[in-house]
Amino acid sequence: MSDGRLRQVRALAQRELDAVVRTRTYLVLVALFGLTVAAVPALGGAGGYLPLVLNLVTPVEVLVPVLAFAFGYQAIRADAERGELDVIRTYPVRRATYVLGVFLGRATAVLAAVLVPLALAAVFVPLTSQPAPSFLASAATVDDPIYYVRFVAIAGTYALVALGIAVAVSTVARTRREGLALAVSTLLVVVVGLDLAVVGGLTTGVVGPGDLSATLALSPASAFRGLVLAFAATPVAGASAPAPAALPGVVGLLGWLLGTLALATVTVWRA
């Protein structure tokens, strides 16, 4: 990428970041997510880093896409409605440069909203430590903080994927109302719809046991869950989820991220 395009990406990213963090909605949603994350170790007693990972998997799986969609589903649609997209098109800015700048700016805000509360939650672990559960007590090093660090990294990746989907939604929708409806329906599909489709495939025999790992990787939520079990909850998953088995999940999340950004790039000027 040339220096000129890099400057364009940085300028667009800074513009998006400033637009997001200055809104009250951003502060409110970040505060709510932070309170939810902090409530797990503060009220329930984490018992260690690994139990904290296990307790946070479901809240993060559901709430992170909500945050990403809240900050991304109007990212490009709003520019189109204000007429700013038409102005940007008069400059020598490529579609990919514009989409990348919008994505990176919003990604910075979303990652801050997700990673900072998760990092702060780890502070409560030494303060609320309890005896390790019996199923973890056999391993002396089971509560290594590295498991929680991996969990936070996987959650950040999951947030980027959800944001990529939201940005793609913002280029496809033709009106604000349509964007909201499409965002809500897409969010439901990402969080629960694809998982239900996999379950339905298993019960009807369309998906065989041997295809389950690859099929689950098609769902961002399932891919996130599988990567957590493989890398951040290894003592619990044991030999049933070795790192090589997590490859479909990695490919699945990467495919969703690159695919949605490619879709946004193709459709962005139509917005």
Q: Give the pLDDT confidence of 167-225 residue by residue, as tens digits.
A: 999 998 877 788 888 888 888 888 888 778 877 777 776 666 666 677 777 889 999 99
What is the count of structural domains for the chain?
1
pLDDT of residue 166: 93
Q: Is 17 exposed, middle or buried (0-12, 13-18, 19+ CB in 10 A)?
A: middle
Q: Decide: 215 and 240 in contact? Cβ < 8 Å.
A: no
Q: What pTM was estimated for this model as a whole?
A: 0.88
* Domain ranges, residue 233: 3-270
Report the alpha-carbon distance of residue 228 to residue 210 in Å, rounded.
21
